[in-house]
Amino acid sequence: MIWQASHRADPFAREIADRHYNRQKIGSPQFVPPGSCAVFKAETATGRAFWVTSAPFAQYVRHAWAGAWVCSAFRNEGAGKASVMIRDALAATRAKLGEPPALGMITFINRKCVRPIKRRGADVWGWTWLLCGFRHVGETAGGLMALQILPGDMPPANPARGVQSSLFALPGDTP
């Protein structure tokens, strides 16, 4: 597990968040939307990264996937292989937030801000996400590409570093 548990106002993660393309208020102490969340950070010999999962209340969501967890931000600045980091973040999110909602997790990609890769001569956005089990499921009204992973395609729960595993014990588990 590369991820370490963090929080919505962690100065280390905020610095990386300030360089993410969807950051709305650079320098603001908090970088996570309102509501429940899971925030992770990573620092390795080769780089740094952060991840945010938001669990918004469905009644306040304006896209077609209300009720799904949302990967609000993921930025990898050379900390590791992105596909491994995404799968680990999904596992750590499950450990922190519990069983995923029926709609699983959604993430959005702004094709104006992210470079595609070439696959068989065609531009493909979100390739790393697709490798992790996400599927293209549509567009938002604002033109963002929507990718979704359902609970059955997510890895099992695995807590981030810095989290006491006893907090995740289920009734009947022996310590």
Q: Which residues, 6 or more positions from 71, have their beta carbon under 8 angstroms from its beta carbon?
A: 51, 52, 53, 89, 105, 106, 107
HSE-CB at 91 with a 13 A cutoff on CA atoms is 18
pLDDT, one tens digit per residue, over 5-30 is 988 888 877 777 776 666 567 777 77
97 CB burial (10 A radius; 0-12, 13-18, 19+):
middle
Predicted confidence (pLDDT) at residue 170 exceeds the cutoff of 70 = no
Tell me how far CA of residue 84 lies from CA of 70, 91, 95, in angstroms. Answer: 18, 11, 17
**Confidence band of 88 (pLDDT split at 50, 70, 90):** very high
**CB of 80 within 8 A of CB of 89?**
no
**CB of 16 within 8 A of CB of 47?**
no
pLDDT, one tens digit per residue, over 117-144 is 899 999 999 999 999 999 999 998 889 9
**Confidence band of 90 (pLDDT split at 50, 70, 90):** very high
**CB of 79 within 8 A of CB of 46?**
yes
105-109 and 145-149 beta bridge pairing: antiparallel
Residue of 113, 107, 100, 114 lying closest to 153 (CA atoms): 100
